[in-house]
Amino acid sequence: MEIHGYKAFAPDMTNRFGKKFPVGKYHVDGDISFGVHGNGIHFAKNIEDTIRYGKIDDGVGDVTIAEVIGSGIIVEGEDSYGGFYDLYCASDLEILRYLTRAEIINIALNLSPHRMERFVSYFRLTPQEMELFYGIDLHVDAAIDYYQKGIKDVYYTENINKRFMRNVKVYQIGGMK
Mean pLDDT of 77-94: 84
- Among 42-56, 88-102, 147-161, whose mean pLDDT is lowest? 147-161
**Res 95: pLDDT:** 98
**Res 63: pLDDT:** 86
Radius of gyration over every alpha carbon of the chain, rounded to an integer in angstroms:
19
The pLDDT mean for the chain works out to 85
Mean pLDDT of 9-13: 87
Q: Is the pLDDT of residue 59 over 50?
A: no
Q: Smallest Cα–Cα separation from 96: which of 28, 30, 2, 1? A: 2
Terminal Cα distance for the chain, rounded: 61
Element (H, E) at 4: strand 3-9
Reduced to 3 states (helix: H, G, I; strand: E, B; else coil), residue 25 is strand
Confidence of residue 11 (pLDDT cuts 50, 70, 90): confident
**Res 58: pLDDT:** 47
Confidence of residue 36 (pLDDT cuts 50, 70, 90): confident
* Spatial separation of the C-alpha atoms in residues 79 and 57, rounded to whole Å: 19
Q: Percentage of the chain with pLDDT > 90?
A: 58
Instruction: Name which residue leads in pLDDT, 85 or 167.
Output: 85
- In three-state form (DSSP H/G/I as H, E/B as E, the rest C), the secondary structure along 77-99 is EEECCCCEEEEEEEEEEEEEEEC
Q: Is the pLDDT of residue 22 over 60?
A: yes
Helix 101-109 with 113-122: angle, nearest 10 deg: 140
**Res 85: pLDDT:** 75
> What separation in angstroms does the CA of 129 have from each of 12, 18, 55, 105, 124?
22, 29, 20, 8, 9
Confidence of residue 40 (pLDDT cuts 50, 70, 90): very high
Per-residue pLDDT reduced to its tens digit, 122-135? 899 999 999 999 99
